[in-house]
Amino acid sequence: MDKYLNLIVSRFESYIEFLNFFEPTNEAALFINDSFIYNEMVRVKNALIYNKNLLNDKRSEYQLYYIELFHIYNYTRDSICKFEAMIYSLQNAIRVLNKTELRHL
């Protein structure tokens, strides 16, 4: 789990860096939300539904990841200030994933 969660956290951190340093706009947040977050959410959901070979630990990691993606996607989509909403959601997801990783040590 450590490697998988670290990869997810790194991905979320790269989205924050992109938004803060390169394109701090609502349009950029929408682009990331509609392109990357949504597509990843669909991919993880399909893995949970169709991959019956996922072990319990890995399945719980995928479920946690899906929940965080779901929160990021919907909070950003429904917010008026999409840029701020995405930054907040990504930071919150990183905190949750880091806490989860610490529990597995």
Taking only the tens place, the pLDDT of each residue in 7-28 is: 889 999 999 998 888 778 999 9
Share of residues in the chain with pLDDT > 90 (%): 59
Residue ranges of alpha helices (H) inside 1-105 are 2-17, 26-32, 38-50, 56-78, 82-103
pLDDT of residue 74: 97
Q: Which residues form the domain of 14? A: 2-103
Give the Cα separation of 105 and 11 in Å (integer).
Answer: 21
pLDDT of residue 58: 79
pTM, to two decimals: 0.86
Total number of domains constituting the chain: 1
